[in-house]
Amino acid sequence: MTVMYAQGDLLIERVDDIEPSGTVLSPDASGATVLAEGELTGHRHAIFERVTMFRDDALARDVPGGLYIGHVKVEGGPATIHHHEHAPIALGAGTYRVRRQRELEPKDAVIVAD
């Protein structure tokens, strides 16, 4: 079973542990690893514990274009994703793929009949 978390427009999916590859992203000046920042509000999805965030497009071939943010590797203890408007999410040790969720429009709905 896939473990997934949602926080606002982010979807965080537990994936198999891997070593960081591609581009390693550094924490900001405050020491926070910022997963995403709101364009209008400036509120951000941030982790303040020590984690490694990296972006490797080869690991996100199945994610629709423009939605892949990166991967976060949590080692040791839990790491918590904070956002001003949402409940915090505690991530256990492991590797997580982070992507934006896409809002579906009514035209995207598919009626399924059994």
Domain boundaries, the chain: 4-103
User: How many CA atoms lie within 13 Å of 22's alpha carbon, on the beta-carbon side?
Assistant: 16
pLDDT at 98: 97
pTM for the full predicted model: 0.86
Task: Encode pLDDT of 28-85 as tens digits.
Answer: 999 999 999 877 677 899 999 999 999 999 999 999 889 999 999 999 889 999 999 8
Give the Cα separation of 93 and 23 in Å (integer): 21
Which tokens hold the place of 23?
Answer: 């581009």
Label residue 111 by pLDDT band (50, 70, 90): low
Which tokens hold the place of 41?
Answer: 């509000």
| Secondary structure E strands in the chain | 4-7, 10-15, 23-25, 33-37, 44-47, 52-55, 68-74, 79-83, 86-91, 94-100
Label residue 112 by pLDDT band (50, 70, 90): low
